[in-house]
Amino acid sequence: MTNPFSLVGRRALVTGANTGIGQAIAIGLAQAGASVVCAGRRACDETVAQITRAGGQASSVLVDFVDPMAGQSLFAGQGFDILVNNAGIIRRAEAVDFSESDWDAVMDVNLKALFFTTQAFAREVFARGAGSGGGRVVNIASLLSFQGGIRVPSYTASKHGVAGLTKLLANEWAAKGINVNAVAPGYIETNNTEALRADVDRNRSILERIPAGRWGNASDIAGAVTYLCTPASAYVHGAVLNVDGGWLAR
């Protein structure tokens, strides 16, 4: 019997895979059997090392999505079946003080690069034809795909855009063999949230709202992403899966 949760024989590209959530996703896909290419603007050597030490297959490529078109050349002839758009940046300031340069930088990486990278991936999958087994796209959204937040106007706008693009691309590509979905992480223990966790009052207020009673681990996100890349999710299209310990349900 075929294992519907296996990724053996599949080839994946994970952006922003050098650390944190992206690193965990790359490792999770490799554990499920995929051959993983880790993309980042900094070297992904540690991620590749963790995968290969465990007997998996991984390599890396340097890509800086400050140039939104940087992903256009990644897919031709490479046989990718899976794309995980995890790379992203954030800028913080009061809305009344927010600069055009910070707005453009975040939108370029988080939304424009995501769209044009995914476009290039889809073109390659379609060019291979129906016998290729189709493709999977998983975008990393955010709780701020649903909420407003404060002091992160371009990040909030970009993550709302990620949720919308996920649905649009699913509408266009579901019948053509590509599943497009997203995962929206909640409060996850990463370097980016270290300051929040170190703030006793802020940490307490966050935990009081999370029904699960704990911060998430990067591996929690990896599990959800891996599922959306496997045959087990064949009829899942256009979903934005919240992995937030129940935060949005509160």
Contact yes or no for 244/185 (Cβ under 8 A) = yes
Q: Is the pTM of this model over 0.95?
A: yes
What's the number of domains the chain is made of?
Answer: 1
Q: Domain residues for 54?
A: 11-249
Q: What is the DSSP string of 128-144?
A: H-GGG--EEEEEE--GG
Query: Residue 237 and residue 136: Cα distance in Å, rounded?
Result: 10
Q: Is residue 4 part of a domain?
A: no
Q: Is residue 179 part of a domain?
A: yes
Output the tens digit of pLDDT for each of the chain's 250 residues. Answer: 789 999 999 999 999 999 999 999 999 999 999 999 999 999 999 999 999 999 999 999 999 999 999 999 999 999 999 999 999 999 999 999 999 999 999 999 999 999 999 999 999 999 998 656 799 999 999 999 999 999 999 999 999 999 999 999 999 999 999 999 999 999 999 988 888 899 999 999 999 999 999 999 999 999 999 999 999 999 999 999 999 999 999 9
Q: Is residue 5 part of a domain?
A: no
Q: Is residue 49 part of a domain?
A: yes
Residue 87 sits in a domain whose CATH number is 3.40.50.720
Examine the residue annotation and report whether 235 is marked as an active-site residue of this protein: no
* Residue in 155, 187, 227, 235 annotated catalytic: 155
Cβ count near 72 (within 10 Å): 16
Q: For residue 169, how many C-alpha atoms fall within 13 Å in the half-sphere facing its CB?
A: 29
Q: Is residue 6 part of a domain?
A: no
Q: Is residue 3 part of a domain?
A: no
Contact yes or no for 246/210 (Cβ under 8 A) = yes
Q: Is residue 245 part of a domain?
A: yes
